[in-house]
Structure 1
C-alpha cells in the first residue's frame, strides 16, 4: 500500500511496521483523533478467499471485545477498494523476540514481570472464551515503558483454516506449537499454556528448546521429546522457576496447569525463599509403571482331577480288600466333577456378563454441528446422534437469527460419549446497548466512539451563546434508551459558538454610515483618518477584518476614512544657467566681403521646464544669442518634488538638469 494513501478518508498511511502470514501492518495517522495507529491489511493473495475474509472479520470483531492493559486495542474494522483492514493501537517499541536478543540475559525478576503481564492478558482472553492459538514472542510487543501487550488475538485461526500454506509463518510459529496442535488436534486453553511455557523458556535461556531444518522436524520434537532443562543452561535458575516451565510444557494435557490463573499464581512465588528447596517437577503420566495382569488360576481343579485319578488307581489295587472304601471314593469323584462343572459354568457366565456390559457401555460419538438450528431442530438432530440437548442460554448476536443456536458446548467435531448433554447458546437477536447522554461532550470524540459500535451518525450545526464550539448541544435519542447500534441513526446538534455575522464591505460608507452599522450589530469600532488621492474625502479607505469574516457580538473592528488629498505648500526655486554661444561662419556676397569682411551668425535657443505650472514638453522660452548668455529660471515646486529644465541650441540639447527645493 502506497505511503500517503488515506483509508476511509481518515487513516493516512505514513510508513510500514511489518508483516505476517496473512497480513501487512502499516503505521498510519488517525486524522480525526490526531493519533498514530497501526493498520493491519489483509494480504493480496487472500482477497479473493471469502472464507479467509469472513474469518478475518469475525476474529477481528472478537478481538474488539478484549479490553485489557496488556492486549493491543482494536479501534476500527473496515474495507476499502477490496482492502480488508483492522485499525489497532500503535505500540512504540519492539516485539519480545527482539527484546530478548537486545537484553539477554534478562534478570529473573524482569522475566517474571513480563510473563505476569502476558499471563494476565491471556487469562482475560480465556475468560472471554477466546484462545490465541499462536502465542509467540513476535506477537508480544514491549513498549518504551516496559509494558507488554499481546496482539493478533484469534487472527491465527483464519490462517490455520485456509488451504494456502504459509511456510514462513509456520516456521515462525512451530517453535511454540503445543503437541496436540502438532498432531493436528484442536487448540485449547492448555495449548496456549504450552506456548507460554516455551516463551518463558526462551526468556530464561535466550533460545527456543527445539530447532531443526524443517517445520515438520520441529513439530515432531514437540510431541516426542521432553523440553530440555533450563538449569542445564543456567544453574542459578531456581528449581521452582524451572518447575513452572516443566509443568507448562508437559506433553500430556492432564499434566499441565489447568488454567492460566494457576500458572500465574505458581510463577508469582517461584523466586520466593520458601520454595528454594523445591523438588524437580515430574509429570504424573511419566511416573506410571506398566501393570502386568496375572492369569486366572485354573490349576486347582486339574490337580484335584489328578489326585482323583491316583486315588482311583489306588482304589482299584485295593478293590479286593475294601469294597466299601471304593464306593466312598467313587462318590467323592462324582462330587468333584460336579464342582468343576459349576466352576466352569460360572467362568463362562462371567465372560458373557463382561461382554454384555462392554457392549451396553456408552459409545463415543462426534458432536454434530447444530449452529443456526432452532431448539426443536437441534433436539431432534442431537437425538438422532444419540446425544441430549442440555442447558440453553441466550446471547446477543448480529449474525445469527433470533432463536437460532450460536454455538454448542462441547463444540462441533469433538468426541463425547453417547447421551452426553450438549449445552447451547441461542441468539437473542441483535445486540442492544443503553444509549448514553453525550450532551456537553466533544462531537469528534463521540463520533469516533460510536462509529466503532456501528451507529450511523448525523450532524446538525447550531449557534449557541452558552455551549462552546464543537460540543454537543442535544441528541435525538434519550439517555438509557435500548437501541441496536447498526440499525440506529443518531443526530447530534453541535454548537458552532455564538451567532455570527459576515463582515460587510464598508467601501464608500461615510463615517456616520460606519457608526450606524456597528451600532446595529453590537460591534466596537475604531476610526482613523488618512489623506488619499484616490478616495473622496469622508469615505472609507479600508477596514479590518476583511469582508466576509464571521464576527460575533462585541467584536472589535477598525476603519480608515479618507481626508482627501493632502495640501502640500509650494516653494519658489530660482536656478541660474549659462548658455554658451557657438560661432558659425557664413559666406557673404563679394561686395559685402570686400567692404565688411566676415559676419557672425546668431544661435537659436529653446528652453523647456517642468514644475507645478509647466510641463517639460511645452516650450518655456525661445530666443537667439550671439554671445555667451546667462539667464535665470524660476520654478514653483512642492516639498519633496523635483523640477527639470532642458536647453536646446540650434536643435541640439546642450543641457538637461533636475532642480530640488
Structure 2
C-alpha cells in the first residue's frame, strides 16, 4: 500500500512496519483523533481466498473481545476497495525477540516482570475462552516504558467455535509449538502454557531449546526429546525458577500447570529464599512405571506446517503430501517414544544419584555490610556463593557505594553456589526541595525543622512580598538534598522599606511638601498662631522625629501664622455701694450721735474701698489695676488689650471682699 493513501478517508498510511502470515502492517495517522495507529491490511494474494478473509475477520472479532493493558487494543475494522483492514494500537518499541537479542543477559527480576505481564494477558484471553495458539516473542511487544503487550490473535480460537479449532494447518512458530499441536492434536489452554514455558526458557538462556534443519525436525524434538536444562546454561539460575520452565513445558498436558494463573503464582515466588532447597521437578507421568498413552485426537491427516510459511498458501496444495512422507508410521513412533522414555528414566535416575553424591554443602551467609561491592563479591565467592542482583537503597548509616545488607540475611544457612542479592547504599535519603517563595516564614521554618533541616533567616524589605513572607531561598526548587546535612537560608520580607521621620521644625510649607514627595508620604498641613515660631515655619509634626515610616504613610504638620494680632476693648461694670459692717457699741454711739445731730443736718456715709485687678497682654492679676473709694453705686470702665482669640480676666474687691470676677472676657 502506497505512502499517503487514506483508508476510509481517516487513516493516512505513513510507512510499512512489517508483515505477517496473512497481512502487512503499516504505521498510519488517525486524522480524526490525531494519533498514530497500526493498520493491518490483508495481503494481496489472499484477497480472493474466502477462508482467509473469514479467518482475518475472526482475528478482529477475537481481539475486540479482549480489553486489557497487556493486550494490543483494536480500534476499528473495515474494508475499502477490496482491502480488508484492522486498525490497532501502535506500540512504539520492539518485539520481545529483538529485546532479548539487545539486552541479554536479562536480570531475573526483569524476566519475572516481563513474564508476569505476558501471563496476565493470556489469563485474560483464557477467561474469554480464547486460545492464542501462536505465542512467541515476535508476538510480544515492549513499549519504551517497559509495558508488555501481546498482539496477533489472528489464529486465536474461541472455544465455543469448535469447528474452527479443527484446522488442517498449524500457523504457529514451530520453535514454540506444543507437542500435541505438533502431533496434530487439538490446541488447549495448556498448549499456550507450553509456549509460555518456551518463551521463559528463551528469556533465561537467550536461545530456543530446539533447533533443526527443518520445521519437521524441530517439531519432532518437541515431543521426543527432553528440554535442555536452563541450569546447564547458567548454574546460578535457581532450581525453583527452572522448575517453572519444566512444569510449563511438560510433554503431557496433565503434567503442566492447570491454568495460567497457577503458573503466574508459582513464578511469583520462584526467587524466594524459602525455595532455595527445592528439588527438581519431575513430571508425574514419568514417575509411573507403566503408562497407557492417551490417544491424540487428530484434527486432520496432516500435522505440521513449516513455520516460515506462517499462513496457508492457496497456491501450494502439495505441502501435506510432503509432510506425510517425512512422518513415520504410528507403530514406529510408539517404539521411538518408549525408547526415548526409557532413556529419560535412565538419565533422571543417574542424575538423581549424581545429585545425591555431589549435593552442595550448607554454608552461612557472611557479613559483608560496610564492604565495597567488589569486596563483598570476593567474600561471597570465598564460600562458593554468587552475587545475583545488585539493588540500590538509601541508608542513614552506611556510606554511598558500600553494602548495607544481603538477601538471604547474614548468618542464614544456604547451599553452596546459591545466588545472593546485594544491597548497595546510595547514601542518606534525599528529598526534593520545594519552592517556598511567598509562603509564611514561620510555617515554612517549622516544616523544615521537622524534616531535619537547619534554618537561617535574613530580613530584607520588599515592596512586592508582604511582611513575614519568604522572598528568596538558598536551595533551588527540586534540588535533591539530605535534610540532616543541609542548612537553608531564607530571606524574609520585613514589608516595605522603612525610614526614620525627619525633624521638620523650622521647615517652610514648601520644604515640608518637597520632603513628603521625596519619601512618598501623604501630608496634611494645619496652621496656627505662635509667639515663638516665625510665621510660615513648622511649629509641630506628627509622627514625631525618629519614628519608622514606609512609603505611603501619612504625616501632619502645623505651620506658624506668627503672633496673634492685638485688639483693644473695654468692659463697663457697676460697683454697688454697701454700708460698712459695725459692732453693737459702735452702732449705739452712732445712733445717739445721730439723735443729737438730728434736726441740724444729715449724717455722712462711710466710703467703700474698691480694688480692681485685670489680666490681659499688659496686666496680671497679681498687680492692682485701680483702687478707689465709693459712697454710692459707681459705674466704671475697664480697658483690655488682648490678641485675637485670647480671653481676659478681671476681679473686683470691695472692702477686701471679691464681689465680681470674670475669667472669659472677650471683645464680643
Common topology (TM > 0.5): no
Larger Rg over CA atoms: 2
TM-score (norm 1): 0.43
TM-score (norm 2): 0.42
